[in-house]
Structure 1
Amino acid sequence: MLEVAGLDAGYGNVQVLHGLDLAVAGGEVLCLMGRNGAGKSTALKAIMGLVPPAGGAVRLDGVRLDGLPAHEIPRHGLGYVPQGRRLFAELTVAENLEIGLMARGHGAPTRERVLGLFPRLRERLGQVSGTLSGGEQQMLAIARALCLEPRVLLLDEPTEGLQPSMITLIRDTILALKASGVATILVEQRVDAALALADRIAFVVTGRIAETLPAAGLAPEAPAFRAHVGV
């Protein structure tokens, strides 16, 4: 289980997270929702060490990860797909996947399992990633993270700007990972997507978790969405 306790983080003198607490177990999808600027993306970056925490703790099965250099954290089994994908655009699909494999020393069997989730990438292994469509780039960003064979996957708005067929593919991939025991923290703005994927929804307000509710008990018109997301 990934546990985040009392996490403080920000940028320079601007504090964004104020004692943020959350936990996600294997085979569970936890969705972070909130208005723009609430701290959702910063929470993922702080868990990954990309924004150094100023206080609190991040533990994976009891092992402290906060304070580690950012490049060490993926080696403990955390995969991260940032908003905007952040591929190596000048490298091929195969080369981007190879970078993911190197992080934890995985090889061809892992690559084959990942390509089994994204057959379209197999057809484009030699293609420069910057020339892929937006949906294909998102596939590659997720595939690269999965080359870590992560125990926990952090996804920051993976369906943003994608056509419905790509959204369906990414949803199915997240559900397949859930079935395999991977824990997922998902930042999502679309209520319908959150309800289709999440086990629980944590509402982030000014850098704190205001409340966490089971997704099964929520409808799109639920008061929590109106109060914390503005829809």
Structure 2
Amino acid sequence: MLRIADLRAGYGAAEVLHGVSLTVASGEILCLMGRNGAGKTTLLRAAMGLLAPMGGEVWLGETRLDALPSYRVPGAGLGYVPQGRRLFAGLSVAENLEIGLMAGGGGGVLRDEVLDLFPRLRDRLRQRAETLSGGEQQMLALARALCLAPRALLLDEPTEGLQPSMIAAIREVVAQKRAEGVAVLLVEQRLDAVLSVADRVAFLENGRLAEEMTAETLRADRARADRYLGV
């Protein structure tokens, strides 16, 4: 289980998150939604240790992640696919995957398991990441995170700007990881995308957790999202 308790974070003296608490159970997808600037990416970066929290705690199982140096967080079992992918553009597909394996202590068997999920990447192992299509780059970013054998995944708008076939392929992998017991915290902007994959939905508003509900509840009453997503 991923547990975020009373998390406060921001940039310089500006506090963006004001005591956010949420949990994601093993084998669950929690979608985090909100307007631009609500604090969604800040929450993911703080949970990952890329942004030092101003207060609060982040736990993965019995491990307190915010007490670790940031370079040790991936090895503790938390995978992260940031918005914009952040691949090593000049390195090959194989080299990007190797970086994930080194961070998590995995080996060739794990790499083969990950490539089985993304056959397209297996055909492009020697190709530089910067030469891949946008969808293939997103697959590589997710594959690199899965090379950690993570217990929890943070995904920041993983389907943004992708064609429908790529979106379907990525969602299928995420759903498979959920079935294997991985906890998934997914940031998305589009309600239709969320309702097709989420178990629960949480809304951030001005750096605070405004409301949580099951995806089933939101499917029955989509208007409940308008308060947090409308212009």
Report the TM range for the smaller structure's normalisation. Answer: over 0.9
2:68 aligned residue: 68
Deviation of the 1:220 alpha carbon: 7.9
2:20 aligned residue: 20
TM-score between both structures, scaled by the size of structure 2:
0.98
Deviation of the 1:64 alpha carbon: 1.3
- Cα distance in 2, alignment partners of residues 193 and 226 from structure 1: 15
TM-score between both structures, scaled by the size of structure 1:
0.98
Q: After the TM superposition, which of the residue ranges 36-45 and 213-222 deviates more from structure 2?
A: 213-222
Q: Give per-residue Cα distances to partners, 1:90-141, cap 9 Å, x unaligned.
A: 0000000000000121100000000010000000000001000000000000
Amino acid at match of 1:15: E
Q: Does 1:180 align with 2:180?
A: yes
Q: Give per-residue Cα distances to partners, 1:141-178, cap 9 Å, x unaligned.
A: 00000000000000000000000110111111111111
What does 1:27-46 correspond to in 2, within 5 Å?
27-46=27-46
Number of residue pairs matched?
231
Deviation of the 1:13 alpha carbon: 1.2
Amino acid at match of 2:85: R
The alignment-based identity, stated in percent, is 63
- Cα distance in 2, alignment partners of residues 133 and 220 from structure 1: 37
Amino acid at match of 2:128: V
- 5+ unaligned residues in a row in structure 1: which ranges? none
Is the Cα contact below 8 Å between 1:191 and 1:220 reproduced in 2? no
What does 1:70-219 correspond to in 2, within 5 Å?
70-219=70-219
Q: After the TM superposition, which of the residue ranges 27-36 and 53-62 deviates more from structure 2?
A: 53-62
Is the Cα contact below 8 Å between 1:20 and 1:209 reproduced in 2? yes
CA RMSD of aligned residues (A): 1.1
Q: After the TM superposition, which of the residue ranges 117-126 and 215-224 deviates more from structure 2?
A: 215-224
- Cα distance in 1, alignment partners of residues 12 and 225 from structure 2: 31
- 5+ unaligned residues in a row in structure 2: which ranges? none
Higher helix share: 2
Amino acid at match of 1:143: A
Is the Cα contact below 8 Å between 1:30 and 1:199 reproduced in 2? yes
Q: Give per-residue Cα distances to partners, 1:199-218, cap 9 Å, x unaligned.
A: 00000011111011000121
- Cα distance in 2, alignment partners of residues 92 and 57 from structure 1: 36
